[in-house]
Amino acid sequence: MSIFSDPIKTVDRLFDELSDSINEGVNRLFDKEIKIGVTGFSRGGKTAFITSLVNTILNFGNEGTSDRLPRFQEYETSGIYYGGIASNHDLSVPAFPYHEYYDGLVKPEPLWPVATDNISEIRLEIRFRENRLLMPGEHRSLYLDIWDYPGEWLIDLVLLDLSYEDFSSMMLSQVRKLSSIIPQSKELLALGDRLDPCKSPDPRLLKESVEQYVQWLLDCKRAGMSLIVPSRQVLPGNLLGAPIIEFMPWLWVIPSSYSKDSLYGVMKKRYDSYKKDIVENFYETMFSKLDRQVILIDCFAALNGGREAFVNVNDTFETLLKNFSYGENNLLQRIFSPKIDKVIFAATKADQVTYDEEKHLLSLLRSMVTSASHEIRGQSTNCQYMVLSSIAATKCLEVNYQGRNTQVLSTGREGDNYFYPGSVPSQWSEQSMADFQKHFIMRQLPPPLMNPGDPIPNINMDVMLSYLLKDKL
């Protein structure tokens, strides 16, 4: 946040913030800290990813770590000997509850981390020996700053560039487009007969109307749509009952003139305040000054959701990614306004397919993000694509089935038979999606069985670490 945003700051505080900014700049200059933006829709696997990444880093320096991370060669070559949790940058932000999530995973009946309902931050420290020519053998620390947040809130970033009128027209076309699959759409449109945009609002009717819109949003969410805005209406956090979230898009003819106290004026004002005070603030805290971005995509959910959900995921992603600043950094940019110079697209929950299906999953991911990644590559940002399971709930085994070696999955639980879930299409099409929905066995997998102290089993976390860190070590 700018040091000039609060006029009543004392000189001391201003000075502290200024020296913090300088420190941050110096740290960036010497590559001592990187901010990683974990980006993904709700239930996409962000919290599981952060938990697993923290766990992997906390195991740095422990026996056997190098063997578990064969494709993170920099672990050996840069002499990493320690990984730990450092104290947070911003002491007013809740700490990411890593230990709570890890303790849940190592219970006799293990638990997935719960759905996130607020923001949290974690700062990790990696210690290693400098290998560069100038300072060989020097001990150095690299800090990683990572934030977690409810996936729902991410979608609000699409509002950043939209006026109230733009937002209204975007949602009107959504309501129309979804009227065949969301029955409430017609009733929502009919609501306009009872609303006069130029009259002062009847508080009860305004509340009821907004409630009807929120119901429609919830129906869309259940149907697997991604464009659920304003998100705080479905997951308010500390804004529950606050007037700033009591508005809806104007889905009817926009009045040519209106007073600021009219129904239309009030809706518009609330929208503008929401965008400025909630969305911009969220963006500033979570996503400004990102160095690296990890984009987590649950391809299985996208395939399962049907055509509209799939297109919705793509469109929303494309609009979202326009809000980030990508590209190579020169020295000054690196210090003062860094751009994201590396993006990793990861297809999550890859433990739901057998090993030989991973290449299909990868190809599907690439086909899903073709246009979004095209834009990013156009700005000279390095893009990587991978499949990932942050917390692998299955193991892939080879068994002899009708005389042939066949890959299957096993949860390793007593009495639980191994199974073959089916194949993933390598390209998205109506037909491949229909086949997937018909034949693929989607199981609600329980987390893996672990003992306290065990490292979290995963697929490809070593590849992820290498992509994220290799040029910083």
Ligand X SMILES: Nc1nc2c(ncn2[C@@H]2O[C@H](COP(=O)(O)OP(=O)(O)OP(=O)(O)O)[C@@H](O)[C@H]2O)c(=O)[nH]1
Binding mask 424-463 for ligand X (x = CB under 6 A): ---------------------x------------------
- 468 is a site residue for ligand X (CB under 6 A): no
Helix 164-177 / helix 263-273 crossing angle, nearest 10 deg: 100
Binding flag, residue 47, Mg ion (CB under 5 A): yes
Which tokens belong to 9? 């700051």
Among positions 139-168, residues that touch ligand X (CB under 6 A) are 150-151
Nearest CA to 287 out of 339, 235, 341, 345 is that of 339
- Amino acid of residue 194: R
Residues 345-384 that bind ligand X (CB under 6 A): 348-349, 351-352
56 binds ligand X (CB under 6 A): no
What is the distance between the alpha carbons of residues 106 and 450, in angstroms, rounded to a whole number?
A: 5
Stretch that binds ligand X, among 110-118, 218-226, 276-284, 400-408 (CB under 6 A): 110-118
- For the record, the structure tokens of 64 come out as 């056997």
Subset of 90-129 contacting Mg ion (CB under 5 A): 116
Based on CB atoms, which residue is closest to Mg ion, 116 or 373? 116
Q: Which stretch binds Mg ion (CB under 5 A): 6-14, 40-48, 73-81, 216-224?
A: 40-48
Q: Report the nearest approach of ligand X to the CB of residue 216 (Å).
A: 20
Chain Cα centroid distance, residue 365: 16
CB nearer to ligand X: pick between 251 and 391: 391
DSSP for residue 277: I
C-alpha to C-alpha distance for 130 and 465, rounded to whole angstroms: 18
Nearest residue to the partner ligand X, using Cβ? 151
At 342 the three-state DSSP class reads: strand
Cα distances (angstroms) measured from residue 371 to each of 157, 270, 378, 414, 436: 19, 34, 11, 45, 23
- Count the Cβ atoms, other than its own, within 10 Å of residue 471: 11
**Residue 46 binds to ligand X (criterion: CB under 6 A):** yes
Q: Which is nearer to Mg ion, 46 or 349 (CB)?
A: 46
Q: Decide: helix, strand or coil at residue 362.
A: helix
Site for ligand X in 11-40 (CB under 6 A): 40
CB of 412 to ligand X, least distance (A): 13
Amino acid symbol at 91: L
Peptide bond into 230 cis (omega under 30): yes
Q: Is 116 in the site for ligand X (CB under 6 A)?
A: yes
Is residue 42 close enough to count as binding Mg ion by CB under 5 A?
no
| Residue 349 interacts with, from ligand X, Mg ion, none (CB under 5-8 Å by kind) | ligand X
Sites of contact with ligand X (CB under 6 A)? 40, 42-48, 112-113, 115-116, 150-151, 348-349, 351-352, 389-393, 445
